Structure 1
Amino acid sequence: MKKRIITLLLLMLWAVGLLPSAMAAGAEQITVRFYDEASRSYSEPTVTDRVNLTLDGEALIPQDVPALAYYPEGSANGRTLVPVRLISEALDATVTWVAETRQIIILREESTIVLTAGSATALVDGQAVELPDGVPAGGVMWEGKESTMVPLRFVSEQLGAGVEWIGETATVAITSPTEETPGQPETADLGQITGLAFDQEAQTLTITADHTPQYRVVDLGDRLAIDVLGAVYPEAENGLTLPVESQAILSVRCYQHGDDLGYGYPHTLRVVLDLASGVSYAQYLSVSSGENQVRVTVTGEPEEPEVPPLDPAKITIAIDPGHGGNQPGAVYPDENGEDVQEKDLTLPMSLMLADILEERGYNVVLTRTGDDSVSLADRAKMANAAQAEVFVSIHCNALDRTDYEGIFTYYYPNSTRGEALAKQVQAGVVTATGGIGRGTPSANFQVLRETTMPAVLVETGFMSCPAELARLCDPDYQQQIALGIADGVEAYLKAGT
């Protein structure tokens, strides 16, 4: 109700001309839904302003959700939100999405920007920065399309670009960063790194210098970077990897940088810790310093998942019902206008599959048996802990059109056994359901990447297609899908690939 009132107020303000004239002039109104991180669901429809974009005078057109104005509650001034990948790649930056922490990591030469969905605070080169007007990054849905949106001016200016608002055409004009002639660093180096060691017993990485080190911590999700400013370590001139024995840290890599990281010193040593699956800086690591050292200590390790008792004489198959709990997955209305959540389709199909496989004499491990939130890392860990022979993740698909339907089965790139399993499962499901087979592409999905056995992810159909959604909601059709997957898994196992 509150969001509806806000929407009505915006419309009234627009009608009487109380919104900023710069935003009002030339703007087209669109209806969108904003993703709420607390409830993990989309808001009621909200009317706002569409924003046009140009880059160096050329139109910059989003593929899915358009750039738009977001009006913070209590403020009449709008902030422009734009698809993160569009603006980042236009400015020659790379984007990484870290699902577990819901972080967006933008990298461009000297700049590292970390935005957390729903948070009004960003990290810029390891330093906390408050976002203007507290407008965070987050998901937006428009006409059935979804995109992760970020504050345009903040991201653009952090990447060195210029931003200008042209009210007459409701356009944000972006100017690419200018190439500057490198000058002398602002200050001299601070000193040398004299030692770099990992203590297995203490689970501590120690960086020792001949001075009091200055450093920055850059949280990259599955990696943690420690930048030691103005520090020279000749051993890392061509890169250096330290031997590490740890459940939380996979490896430690060191690189000697010049003044390219933008800290104002001739040199910076970057130490990168590659983290194990499920390990995050916030939960499992601490960084401290004292006198001439910087120390990174493992403060905890992820708990091993519980695996039910299994018959060692039987083959074990892991089944992963996609989404669950506060992660509903795709949401589309059925023929009665009631919202159907992907998580409520994948679970019954998975339970049916488990029953079929158990009847055929297999052990079955399910990553969830109810409406539970399970991280992607924990899903893979459970399958690994059970020493499953095969891993099957079950999902439903969606697209920005209503006439496209069909079945995909994904496998991890360059996995020969994964590809063989995908082809057998795809053939089994298509045969059992009579559905349209769309192929067996490879994909770098986390549950495929981090499982140690042949793994596939089955997209059983498109919820965005009303006819296929109706079938996916039908228990008889769900049973056919489960039967087809079981037949495909058995065919793969019998082939002994």
Structure 2
Amino acid sequence: MKKRIFTLFLLLAVVVGLFPAAMAAGTEQITVRFYDEVSQRYSEPTVTDRVNLTLDGEALIPEDVPALAYYPEGSTNGRTLVPVRLISEALDATVTWVPETRQIIILREESTIVLTAGSATALVDGQAVELPDGVPAGGVMWDGKESTMVPLRFVSEQLGAGVEWVGETATVAITSPEEPQQPDPTQPQEGDLGWITELSFDEEEQTFTITADHTPKYRIVDLGDRLAIDLLGAVYAPAVGKDLTLQVESDAIEKIRCSQHRDDLGYGYPHTLRVVLDLASGVSYAQHLSVSSGGNQVRVSVTDVPEEPEVPPLDPSKITIAIDPGHGGNQPGAVYPDENGNDVKEKDLTLPMSLMLADILEERGYNVVLTRTGDDSVSLADRAKMANAAQAEVFVSIHCNALDRTDYEGIFTYYYPNSTRGEALAKQVQAGVVAATGGIGRGTPSANFQVLRETTMPAVLVETGFMSCPAELARLCDPDYQQQIALGIADGVEAYLKAGT
């Protein structure tokens, strides 16, 4: 019961600094109970004083348990308890409660404070520190509400805030930390290398040029569908305080963006200019671009543009469905031994299931485009491009799953995040496969898979079962079971199309 209450109603709080035992005249008294971590019980009711709380002169009023005085045993001096979430968020810190270890984790910028209920020792950036007067974090109950109390003066000073006790009004006054003065972002600072003077794109030469007033120093960050070039110690005035975008005419580069950073990218310079090239579908830095430098310039050149995939002749009166057998060629996918000890490759399971699905859909009157029909290596980008070039109505990618345990099995169907039509297709396909096979349905989560992201039609990726589970692997190797999977996918696709989502 206690664990449930703490999970539902936990309000973190903090103990602030030492103040005289004498309180202001007329201070309101309240009755509370303190939680003992050893006996795991609350104490008998204790009468204590309510305390006021301000931040930068403005009142801070807790929503549940009020700020209150706490008197350590044997001491005539008191401390104040106040909700830590209230003060932490006011000081731009985040608070996390870990019920398994009964720890409070407070994060602000690069500072990490960890306090444990019942312990007078805290961890500050990984170092053990004794709490003032040995007052530990602990629970308090008041008027049917519960809070976990932790030391505020310690916490607030670690976060850079000031704390002052105002006895006349029984108030703890907290002062926000001063913001460090930031250098002017529009000017190179000491330690920078200089200015970027021009960004230009030559459409005829298909070359993007960065020009500086110095010999540029740069780093390349390959992000797959984007290429980032970080120019160290460089300032580009037009990019200060805004996201600057350059539209370009190119089959390989969709657009070029740049943003002015200070020292937040970790290079050790006061400024860094980040230039990002958004690449067209199927284009990669390794295969289609080159970066060179000389003098006061850095150049990005398009060396090759991938060709459009060939699409077989299609009947324009029929709906087209793209089927993607996962992996292939030099990409075997998951590999697990069957009951005879022979290795089974994922690519050799997804292809027959895909061919069966193609036969079923063609018999039902649909055009079918397969991203591979044999043991071929096909890039993820080319799979999406083929479906897009065929102007398919639906895209289905077929895979098998794996996990580092042998007792987990079941079917997943994924769709691209925030795709309403993709989600509707996933639910129909998942229902169809589970019904046709009798397998365990594990749900329809979203995922940022490239074949789902780069296809322009509703798209799903079906994980037909876990090869890491021997029983399910045996079923996946069975042609009759493969036929059931194909039939279930076909039924799901048809149900989606008939619903007209």
TM-score of the superposed pair, with normalisation by structure 1: 0.61
Alignment of 1:68-467 (within 5 A): 188-238=191-241, 239-467=243-471
Counterpart AA for 1:462: F
Contact 1:317–1:364 (CA<8 Å) still a contact in 2? yes
Cα distance change, pair 264–341 in 1 and its aligned pair in 2 (3 A): closer
Alpha-carbon separation, structure 2, partners of 1:312 and 1:278: 26
Contact 2:247–2:254 (CA<8 Å) still a contact in 1? no
Alpha-carbon separation, structure 2, partners of 1:448 and 1:418: 9
The offset of 1:412, in angstroms, is: 0.9
Counterpart AA for 1:215: Y
Q: Deviations over 1:75-95 (max 9, x none)?
A: xxxxxxxxxxxxxxxxxxxxx
- Alignment partner of 2:488 out of 484, 491, 495: 484
Counterpart AA for 1:220: L
DSSP-derived class of the 1:492 partner: helix
The offset of 1:182, in angstroms, is: 12
Contact 1:186–1:264 (CA<8 Å) still a contact in 2? no
The offset of 1:434, in angstroms, is: 1.6
Alpha-carbon separation, structure 2, partners of 1:212 and 1:402: 57
Alpha-carbon separation, structure 2, partners of 1:354 and 1:262: 51
Alpha-carbon separation, structure 1, partners of 2:452 and 2:334: 20
Alpha-carbon separation, structure 2, partners of 1:264 and 1:466: 52
Contact 1:408–1:458 (CA<8 Å) still a contact in 2? yes
The offset of 1:262, in angstroms, is: 4.4
Cα distance change, pair 182–226 in 1 and its aligned pair in 2 (3 A): farther
The offset of 1:311, in angstroms, is: 1.1
The offset of 1:431, in angstroms, is: 1.3
DSSP-derived class of the 1:439 partner: coil
1:98 is matched with: none
Same amino acid, percent of matched pairs: 88
1:10 is matched with: none
1:71 is matched with: none
Contact 1:193–1:231 (CA<8 Å) still a contact in 2? yes
The offset of 1:309, in angstroms, is: 1.0
Contact 2:412–2:442 (CA<8 Å) still a contact in 1? yes
Counterpart AA for 1:312: P
DSSP-derived class of the 1:438 partner: coil
Q: Deviations over 1:73-132 (max 9, x none)?
A: xxxxxxxxxxxxxxxxxxxxxxxxxxxxxxxxxxxx9xxxxxxxxxxxxxxxxxxxxxxx
The offset of 1:486, in angstroms, is: 0.7
Counterpart AA for 1:275: L
The offset of 1:199, in angstroms, is: 2.6
Cα distance change, pair 496–257 in 1 and its aligned pair in 2 (3 A): same
Cα distance change, pair 469–262 in 1 and its aligned pair in 2 (3 A): closer
Cα distance change, pair 418–220 in 1 and its aligned pair in 2 (3 A): closer
Range 200-209 or range 463-472, more displaced: 200-209
Contact 1:187–1:264 (CA<8 Å) still a contact in 2? no
TM-score of the superposed pair, with normalisation by structure 2: 0.60
Cα distance change, pair 190–401 in 1 and its aligned pair in 2 (3 A): closer
The offset of 1:423, in angstroms, is: 1.0
Counterpart AA for 2:200: A
Let me know the Cα RMSD of the aligned residues. 2.5
DSSP-derived class of the 2:412 partner: strand
Q: How many residue pairs end up in the alignment?
A: 320
Cα distance change, pair 237–457 in 1 and its aligned pair in 2 (3 A): same
Range 431-440 or range 481-490, more displaced: 431-440
Q: Deviations over 1:232-280 (max 9, x none)?
A: 2111112311112322112211122223444454322221112223222
Gaps in structure 1 of 5+ consecutive residues: 1-108, 110-160, 162-180
Between structure 1 and structure 2, the one with the greater Rg is 2
Kindly report structure 1 stretches of 4+ aligned residues shifted beyond 6 Å.
181-186
Q: Deviations over 1:51-89 (max 9, x none)?
A: xxxxxxxxxxxxxxxxxxxxxxxxxxxxxxxxxxxxxxx
